[in-house]
Structures are given as structure tokens and as C-alpha cells.
Structure 1
Amino acid sequence: MKKKWLMLLLVVTMTTLLWGCGKSSNSAEGKTSVLDGGAGDTATELSYWTFVELHGQHFKKMLEKWNAANPDRQIKLNVTVMPYDDMHNKLSIAVQTGVGAPDIADIEIGKFPDFLKGTPQLEPLNDVVEPYKDTIVQSQIDMYSKEGKVYGLSTHVGASVAFYNTEILKEAGVDYKSIVTWDDFKKAGMQVYEKTGKYMGTADTSAGWEASMMLAQQESDFTDDAGKPIVNSDAMVKGLKVLKDLQDNNVIATIAGGQPDTEEAYGEFNEGKYATAFMPLWMMSRYTNYMPDLSGKIALAPIPVMEKGMPRSYGGGGTGTVVTKTAKDVQLAKDFIA
């Protein structure tokens, strides 16, 4: 039986919104918004590419703070949001050819190794990382580094939790606070399906959130200490058997988009078709921005485990923000993202 374990890439389908600041334009290459952050006429214009619209909103707030604190080094930021694959493919070509690359860009963790092959066409960030090194988790630096040089700043990782739709659970007579193990989750899910016809959770097919979750609580991983894949490990088999059993009993089912963090999935959650998402804490921004009908209905709790005492969370996701070799003002861009 063919098994696709290494689905580590987060596939993000972007929606584009007008941020209500500066100029905005749509094109086949994405949506660009010009953020001035209160900058004057002498500000330096820098460009920033991302595949996550909410990252652009974050930089809007950071830009205002930067410009207020640095009147002599003010920035105007041209933010372009593109679909996941389009952005990474275009960025790869741009940095390899030295033509058309942005000053600043986001690179998702699953794509980052591609940009470190050979001689990275990204600026080392060691000098701007150093002042914060004692307060940063070392692994968050290492994953975007090569041969002692740091090429990306981690901006997109979070502890994972269960997001429970309390309205659905109440209708089914389920108390999410009583769910500790996967057996508890299975029992609750079967009750939800019987009472409401809805699924307790999702069976992911386009991302590795659930596989990562199962491995983490067994203190295992997709690779060994030497980086060699161990996708057929006992821990992986055990975890997938748990998920398969949940699916066979109508506790979980494949959601539109293949995983919770897609535009299609937002719609299904918003309509109340699924009661649970197991995702990193940054998923809260998706609920508040893209699933308004669930306002006041979502409760957060630890993820179920195979056995009591196992770890009930893990760090999920990852995005490294980089400065390209062709940046207009390298030091200004580095200082800004730091």
C-alpha cells in the first residue's frame, strides 16, 4: 500500500483583501499594496513578497512602529501577496537570476532548503540576530541556517492545540474538557456524528499536521538525528492506525482543501460541518478573519494523546523572512525585519 507520509508543505490558498492604507492593485502576479506607515517623502521604498495575507497586515503595524522610532530611516513597503506555489517559484527564479527579486520575502519552512542549495542568494542575518540570541529558541535559528550563517528569521510557528466548536459539541451532549486521550476523542466523535451527522475532526490529505502531531506525542519525528527519513517507523505506523480508526468510525473525514488551513476549509468550518481542528495557535487569526460565524463558539484545549502523560502539543508551521542579495538597501531591510 502506497503511503504518503512526508506531506510537510503547508498549502495556502490566498484570499486578497484591501488593507485600507495606501494604494492597492491587482495583477496576474498577485496583489500589491503600498504601505507608507506614516513615512515622509524621503522614505526608502522596499518590496516584500509573502504567501500569507495576514503577514502583510502584521508588517503594516510593524512599519508604523518602525517609522515612528526611526525618523531618519523611514520605509515605504510594497507588499505583494501571491498564492503559495506561485510566490515560491517566482522567488526561486528571481534570486537565481538576480533579476526581479523583492528586497524582503517570506519562505515557508518546507521550501527553505531549496533556497539554501549551493551558495544562497540571501543575505546572512547573523548581525541582526545576535542582539536577540539569548531570547530566541535556538532551533528556530538553526532551521533557517547553513554553515553557521543565519538566512531567515522565524515568523510563523506556534504551539498546537485543539480548536473545538462548542456549539456542535453542546448539541451532541459532549464536554470537550473531558477529552484527554484519542479513545476519549473517538467516543465523543461517534456521539457527535450520531447526534448531528457532523464530523468531529478532519482527516488531512494535503499537509502533515496530523502526522506531525502523532509523532510528536511519541517523541519521534520524520527523520532520525542524522536527518535520514524514518517514515515507516513504529511511531508513524501507530499514529496512522489511530487516525485510520477514527476515519473508519466517522469521527474524522477529509475536509475541502485537504486540511484546515485552506480557503475551502474555512468555508466548511464556518458552516459548522466540522467540530475540531488540530492546529498551531496562529490558526486563531484564520478564525477571526475568515470564519466570522464562529465568533464566540470556539474553545481551545490540549490535543488528545494516545496515553495520559504524553506531550499534548508541538510546534507547528514555519516561515523564514529573508533579505535577498539584490535588496535596494540591505542593512535597512535587515534591521527592519529584525
Structure 2
Amino acid sequence: MKFGKKAIAAVGSLAMLGSIAACGSNSGNANSGSASSDGKVTLTVWAWDSTIPRTVKGFEAANPNIKVKIVNAGTSKDEYTALSNAMQAGSGAPDMAQIEYYALPEYVTRGYMQNVADNGAKDFGDFYTPGTWASVSLNGGVYGLPMDSGPMAWFYNKEVFDKAGVDPTQVKSWDEFYEAAKKIRATGSYITSDSGDAGFFDSMTWQNGAKPFDTSSDGKTVTINLTGDDKVKGFVDWWQKLISEDLIDTKTAGWTDDWNKGLDNGSIASLLIGAWMPYNLLSGAPNGDGKWRVTQMPTSDGQPAGSESGGSSLGIIKSDDKAKVDAAYKYLEYVTHNKEGIATRVEAGAFPADNNTLNSPDFLNVTSITDADGKAHEYFGGQKFNEELATAAKNVRAGYKFLPFEVYARGKFGDFVGKSFTDKQKLSDGVKAWQDDIVSYAKQQGYSVKE
């Protein structure tokens, strides 16, 4: 099977904002009735990922008694709000849903997700990358399977870096990145941009080895230690230096037209971002065709280390309807574990979470990506970019944990840390204010809190 030969829409996960409604009923499935008298089952799946609908034809051909209806209930926060409202109301929820890794613990804690360990998923640990498997293996169960992954990598415009006399493949440490940022700024460009992104903050502190959050095994106590974690502080101090010296673009918000324009014209010269970025670059910055490359992330000490940025699980909403759960598991397994289902999605641009694909020569040797008109582009100048991204996946640090109300926490990041990107406060002060709000919220929700 050859990869990278079909066109897609952008499939990367976007930064999440917003909060989730209070816990309610866990019996809110949209199709809560049992299988029909003829044994046929219809599954409703909420997913915004553009590769998911491509799997339906192959799955239904192999499972003629199961029909799959894909519904785009909104991207990220919009879907989460709709899903929580449906669960609270006791009706209108889907049978399955795409849920980003950072949001999954919240839904598990609320009792919304079906544990699929005993369906066979408990034996899949070696199939997936350690980071993605850890993200779905929670509280002794398996609450969904990895759809894709987003190991962090450094995407850069080689033309701009050549002009500045910088070779990113030789930039290993954060200190070296800082020196490179000064040279890039001297050309009139910024080395990268950040106007205050909670997902980026978490990914960068994760990459540095930070572990600011934890939840007790009984789910009653949370640890929130952003201000006391030396690895968080290390990133904050380094990033503050780049902000203070005007070495990163703090005014251009990510995923806006202006941001794409900056990537397109080279005024934003690189991104520290997830491995799902290639197709987004092709569509958002077409004039960068042939100019961009990928390399490994710089780290605080120059030694290889990584983290995830984005990526989603596909999970089954908890239900007492065995026929529905069994049918849903068949589709879950097809999309995320079956060779054909995975290949269908990877051909369409999803970055894989399984080790088989990440080690496949067909995947590793890809040098082009295909636009919506079917035209192949060597956007990365002939580089085997998947090979570099697969290495990034292997470098992801294990052990990082999300809060059981991470959706709320990320939604409040901009309220407290956003001012740090407009020179109104220090980044450390913003992080302290953010922590105070998260602690207050946790106590309101009935958690015991350790700081």
C-alpha cells in the first residue's frame, strides 16, 4: 500500500477553548434502541476529522449488518459542548465520538466512556506508540483507541534560515534556538509565533519533562503544581526571554488568515508543532512549496526528547445496549487497529499512531503530498519527511498526565496567561494566576487539591 497519494482537507487538531457542562446522565445515546429485528445496527459517530468518513465504505462492505453515520458536530470545543449537553440531558448523544487525548480523562472521570479492555483492546498496547497508548489507558481500563498522533517536530522555511545563515538540523538546544532566533529576526522575520496557546504550553513543558498534574487512583485528589515544577519554570524562563526580546511573533494568532499569510511569505519562519502539519502547510502556505523542511525539536539540554501536540482517540459512549457496543467496537477496531482502515486514513493524511505504519518503508519513504486537485507536491524539497516525523514519535516522553478537567483548564489559559504576550505581565505571573483559577475550580468541583 502506497501512502500519500490522495487529497485531504486539513486534519490536524486545533487548540481547544471552552468548558464542559456539569456531569449528568450517561445514557444519552442518540440511537439508544437495540438492534432491529433483522439484526441490523446503525451507529452514529461524531467526528470532525476528514479522514474518518473514508473508512465507512470498506467497513460496511465487510460488515453489511452495520451502518455507520458520520456527523460533524463541530470541531473540538463545539463537539465537546454538544456531547456534554446531550449526556446531561439523557438524549441526543452519539454512539461513538472523536475525543482528543487531553480531553479524554474528563469524559472517563464523568463516566461517559465505555471501557473496551475486555472487548480485546487490552492486548493492543504494543501495537501503538507509548504516548498514544498511555493516553487511552486510564484508571486500569482502555477507554477508546488512538486514531492518530501528533509528535512535536520543528517545521522550518529553509529559504529564510539559509538567508540568516542558520541550519536547524544543527540547532539542538534551547540556547542554540535563542541564538538562531536573533539571526532570523535580523532578516526581518520571526523564528516562530505564539500569542498564547494552552496546547503549545502543555506540549513544551511536557517535552521538557514537566509533570505538573496528577490525579489519585480514586479520582478524588488532583495535584496542580505549575509554579513549583522546575521543568515548567525552565520553559517559562526561556520563552519569556524570547518574548521580551521580540524574537517571536506574539501578535499573530494561530490558525488565522494572517498566520497563514506569515507562513506563506516567510515572515513566520518556522513552527514547533504536531506531525499532522504537512497538509495544513500545503493548503495554508502554498508559496512555501519546496522551501520547507522538518527536523527534530530543540530541547533544554540538547538531548532528544519529545511530546505530543494534538491527536485524538475514537471512543464508544457508555451504553447498556450490548448489540450497539459490540457493533461500535467492530467499527472502532476497523478504524484504529485494522490494517485496511488505518491505511485508508493515512493515505488521506492522518499521522499514524501505530508502530507498524511508522516502521513501514512505504510510509517512511514518502517525499510528496497531494493537494485537493490531485497534484503531488514535494513541499519539503524531496525530504523523506515522514522519516523525520517517525523519529519524533519515538522521542515522545512517557508519563505526562492531563487534568480530569483539562478542557476547562485550557479554556481559561488565555484569560490569565494571554496578557503575558502583550507585555502587560510576566509569563510566570500569568501561569501563577492560571494555576490559582484551576485550583479554585477543582475545589468547586469537589476535588481535594495538592499544590
TM-score (norm 1): 0.74
* Structure with a larger share of its residues in helix: 2
Q: Distance in 1 between matches of 2:58 and 2:314?
A: 18
Higher RCO by CA contacts (8 Å cutoff, separation 6 or greater)? 2
Alignment of 1:185-224 (within 5 A): 185-195=177-187, 197-217=188-208, 219-223=209-213
Is 1:90 the counterpart of 2:82? The answer is yes
Q: Distance in 2 between matches of 1:224 and 1:71?
A: 41
% identical equivalent positions: 22
Maintained 8 Å contact 1:215/1:239:
no
The match for 2:67 is: 75
The match for 1:99 is: 91
Q: Which of the residues 131, 149, 152 maps onto 1:157? A: 149
Deviation of 1:322 after TM superposition, in Å, equals: 1.5
SS in 2 for 1:331: helix
The match for 2:241 is: 245
- CA distance 1:189–1:11, change in 2 (3 Å): same
Post-superposition Cα deviations, 1:50-84, rounded to whole Å, max 9, x if no partner, equal 3x4xx2x321332233234x153453433315133
Structure 2: segments with no counterpart, 5+ residues: 1-13, 19-38, 217-221, 334-451
The match for 2:286 is: 292
Q: Which amino acid aligns with 2:316?
A: V
Deviation of 1:255 after TM superposition, in Å, equals: 5.1
Is 1:336 the counterpart of 2:331? The answer is yes
Maintained 8 Å contact 2:181/2:190:
yes
* Structure with a larger share of its residues in strand: 1
Maintained 8 Å contact 1:212/1:221:
no
Q: Which of the residues 258, 261, 272 maps onto 2:266? A: 272
SS in 2 for 1:286: helix
Maintained 8 Å contact 2:190/2:267:
yes
Q: Which amino acid aligns with 1:237?
A: K
Q: Distance in 1 between matches of 2:147 and 2:163?
A: 38
Post-superposition Cα deviations, 1:123-171, rounded to whole Å, max 9, x if no partner, equal 2212141453342356534533554332222224232110001122233
Post-superposition Cα deviations, 1:6-48, rounded to whole Å, max 9, x if no partner, equal xxx93289xxxxxxxxxxxxxxxxxxxxxxxxxxxx9854322
Maintained 8 Å contact 1:203/1:247:
no
Aligned Cα root-mean-square deviation (Å): 3.0
Structure 1: segments with no counterpart, 5+ residues: 1-8, 14-41
Deviation of 1:239 after TM superposition, in Å, equals: 1.6
The match for 1:121 is: 112
Post-superposition Cα deviations, 1:195-234, rounded to whole Å, max 9, x if no partner, equal 2x211112351223245324523x3322369662221122
Q: Distance in 2 between matches of 1:207 and 1:45?
A: 37
Maintained 8 Å contact 1:123/1:324:
yes
Maintained 8 Å contact 2:112/2:317:
yes
TM-score (norm 2): 0.57
Is 1:46 the counterpart of 2:48? The answer is no
Is 1:132 the counterpart of 2:124? The answer is yes
Q: Distance in 1 between matches of 2:129 and 2:88?
A: 30
Q: Distance in 2 between matches of 1:288 and 1:164?
A: 13
The match for 1:58 is: 51
The match for 2:399 is: none
Deviation of 1:172 after TM superposition, in Å, equals: 2.8
Q: Distance in 1 between matches of 2:257 and 2:146?
A: 24
- CA distance 1:269–1:304, change in 2 (3 Å): same
SS in 1 for 2:223: coil
